[in-house]
Structure 1
């Protein structure tokens, strides 16, 4: 009519009265709902409860066949806004949502062809199967399934944009967002069957990746430093008790580190992160402490209790194991085979401490009492020196046994740590 620049109130009121009915002239024709969304932010990931909290910009399109007008008859007006509560709208929901906090715009844009656009801002708390085995280099794949709750095949859903366009739009807004970054958005349309009923659904797979810098700086690097210090502690003198006390201090510090780290590590009922290798590192540090205790016990053998090194220990440790680990003997120390020969030669030969005897006297002459007392003192001194020499030899033998065992256990310890570190790094590289 003349004087009107758009649909009249009476015509719109007639449409509002049909709110309860699906806006289709022929009810056998389905209503197509086109969906697109932009992932604006990942607000939180709760691995223990398997919950993902996101913020989406959702855009929904459909066609209202009763809201069509000719722009030429309405002064060229092609678009108006109407309250959404007065119009029929498809009941599109997200199936995985545990909680939906929507900030929906109360108005929709209506085109002269009857196409409606409804923008919604959703804060979704949705269920997601989170895999944390490769933490902090984990990649999560969460699913958003959009579909109608009541309508079966009379309301069909399809993507309004290509999945690549949705992914690019989301990456533009997630570039500066917190801990997570968007890898890709994939999707497909399918049919959900339940008995004789069928629903059109569209499934989006949102692939997000954790930014590991925070955890590398706060967890991996400090742990690596502590393990490096534990390895370097093997270069302390093994006969010193300071090595054991130093290792115990390291274990205490690492235990405190694990308690602090426990608040940063994710936990789930169905999986354990590979970063739990920190506990294995603690076990390795305890093993290194036990090795130090064993070596200290060997090096502090009492010569009164252990008269000499058993022959099998001398053969196995000082000969075979020393050759296996390329143990370097000091210049003033001979290998065990040479020691054995020298021991045999000295027992058969005449070498050894001097034996002091008084000068030969005539049968009728007796030595002076002072001379007898001097000979007695010299004999006691000789016996004492012999005992000290034997004790020193025994201690030297046990010291070399301890040194050889220390070299052997240190190399085994390095091999264990190297193998374990290679396994962890390889698995992380595969996941990355």
Structure 2
């Protein structure tokens, strides 16, 4: 009998030493219960005629890139989808008061809501879980970096505004199966800028939203569109592009005050043109590239270069006219007559002297009257067959000097009048240049102002 009691005591002690088998946790039991007979390929409604309403919310975090050449915009958004899954409902009291759990997004039904303007998915972090509460509400939150196709208007760069849309729709399901709605009010979404990184190049104006249905093949599809309205901050481009160009144009305008006869105006204007060309080449990457139309700033740079070319051509024309007059004056000078006189006889000297007198009469017939007796003396000298004596030679020298000084005075007077005429022409062209430049600047400012304050 004692042996039996000893065996029972030993068995009880060994039973106490063996650990009790642990029960599954309430969370594990709830997950297994919900997903045991769940089919992720079936829309989660008990009545197939009732649509599943997908509530959508959007928060814009930043604008990463705007590419005018490819007509695309890269944005970072926080995207939320909320819907009711009628197959994921439980009583919290049966599972230790658990009211919300996270489930794998691959294990449950996910709506096929896409963005119509979607081009490429950027560096978005995958979120493999969704939150489900006891009433069957599913919350699917995703941070996304997306590249969207957008019709960019770069004409008013750098004072441009852009309107890019994100249109959410179901790819296959009609409105009878999947309907869309806003999780928050349209006003709250439009004015929500709390998460936007407002220190970059772009400023967020608003995000208006709208809902509509489009009918295709006798079937209606629900759409929700968010319009992202952004405006570029132009300070960087004004300081880096516009102001240096304006400075170069002002330097070109002041170069008109250089004297025409100095010969440095053309070289100075060529230096300005070369400097402006180098400036444009270095800043080519800063300008937007579009294949449809030319931005207004591109027109600005092209017209500025055209104005510099026009200024250079005008200066070349005026200087050419001025030096053309000097060349003619040299051809009509008396020095050629004096050289002929020293190397020829009295006959050739008299002919050159008469030619100089007639030329002088043609140039300045009103200011200078040649004495007729002097011409008779020259003709009488021509009749002397032998070599002139000392007095006759001295007379010829005096007549030659008189003609030379008279011709020089006449040339100086004509040159002064021609210089005054060229100066008046230069002043007229300069005023015309200023008028064209002012008209262009006023037109450009009006266009930019109309786009900036629109």
Shorter-chain TM band:
0.7 to 0.9
What is the distance in 2 between the residues matched to 1:41 and 1:303?
68
Please give the TM-score of this superposition, normalised by the length of structure 2. Answer: 0.78
DSSP-derived class of the 1:219 partner = helix
The gaps in structure 2 that reach 5 residues or longer are: 1-22, 331-363, 378-387
C-alpha change, 1:150 and 1:345, in structure 2 (3 Å) is closer
- Are residues 1:297 and 2:320 paired? yes
Contact persistence 2:82–2:138 (CA under 8 A): yes
- Are residues 1:33 and 2:54 paired? yes
What is the distance in 2 between the residues matched to 1:105 and 1:251?
57
What is the distance in 2 between the residues matched to 1:227 and 1:96?
43
- Are residues 1:59 and 2:80 paired? yes
C-alpha change, 1:349 and 1:369, in structure 2 (3 Å) is closer
- Are residues 1:209 and 2:214 paired? no
DSSP-derived class of the 1:122 partner = strand
Q: Which residue of 1 aligns with 2:282?
A: 260
What is the distance in 2 between the residues matched to 1:121 and 1:9?
26
**What is the CA deviation profile of residues 42-100 of structure 1, one whole-angstrom value per residue up to 9, with x for unaligned ones?**
12111111111111111110011122233344444321111111111111110111112
What is the distance in 2 between the residues matched to 1:402 and 1:171?
66
Report the alpha carbon displacement of residue 304 of structure 1 after superposing the two structures with TM: 6.4
Report the alpha carbon displacement of residue 349 of structure 1 after superposing the two structures with TM: 12
DSSP-derived class of the 2:302 partner = helix
- What pairs up with 1:15-414 in 2 under 5 angstroms? 17-101=38-122, 102-153=124-175, 154-170=177-193, 172-176=195-199, 178-276=200-298, 277-302=300-325, 305=328, 346=367, 370-414=390-434
What is the distance in 2 between the residues matched to 1:13 and 1:299?
98
Report the alpha carbon displacement of residue 303 of structure 1 after superposing the two structures with TM: 5.3
Report the alpha carbon displacement of residue 112 of structure 1 after superposing the two structures with TM: 1.7
C-alpha change, 1:383 and 1:173, in structure 2 (3 Å) is same
C-alpha change, 1:29 and 1:46, in structure 2 (3 Å) is same
DSSP-derived class of the 1:174 partner = coil
Q: Which residue of 2 aligns with 1:424?
A: 444
Report the alpha carbon displacement of residue 172 of structure 1 after superposing the two structures with TM: 3.6
Instruction: Find the structure with the greater CA-based Rg.
Output: 2
What is the distance in 2 between the residues matched to 1:301 and 1:195?
81
Contact persistence 1:38–1:169 (CA under 8 A): yes
What is the distance in 2 between the residues matched to 1:182 and 1:301?
63
What is the distance in 2 between the residues matched to 1:86 and 1:406?
84
Contact persistence 1:230–1:285 (CA under 8 A): yes
Report the alpha carbon displacement of residue 279 of structure 1 after superposing the two structures with TM: 0.8
Please give the TM-score of this superposition, normalised by the length of structure 1. Answer: 0.82
Contact persistence 2:73–2:150 (CA under 8 A): yes
What is the distance in 1 between the residues matched to 2:201 and 2:32?
53
Report the alpha carbon displacement of residue 24 of structure 1 after superposing the two structures with TM: 0.9
What is the distance in 2 between the residues matched to 1:304 and 1:51?
63
Q: Could you tell which deviates more after superposition, 67-76 or 112-121?
A: 67-76
C-alpha change, 1:248 and 1:3, in structure 2 (3 Å) is closer
The gaps in structure 1 that reach 5 residues or longer are: 308-342, 358-367
Report the alpha carbon displacement of residue 104 of structure 1 after superposing the two structures with TM: 3.2
What is the distance in 2 between the residues matched to 1:94 and 1:25?
28
What is the distance in 1 between the residues matched to 2:421 and 2:194?
64
What is the distance in 2 between the residues matched to 1:190 and 1:32?
14
DSSP-derived class of the 1:86 partner = coil
Contact persistence 2:59–2:195 (CA under 8 A): no
**What is the CA deviation profile of residues 365-411 of structure 1, one whole-angstrom value per residue up to 9, with x for unaligned ones?**
xxx95544433322211110011011111111110111001110001
What is the distance in 2 between the residues matched to 1:184 and 1:51?
19
Aligned length: 381
**What is the CA deviation profile of residues 277-299 of structure 1, one whole-angstrom value per residue up to 9, with x for unaligned ones?**
10111011101111101110122
Q: Which residue of 2 aligns with 1:337?
A: none
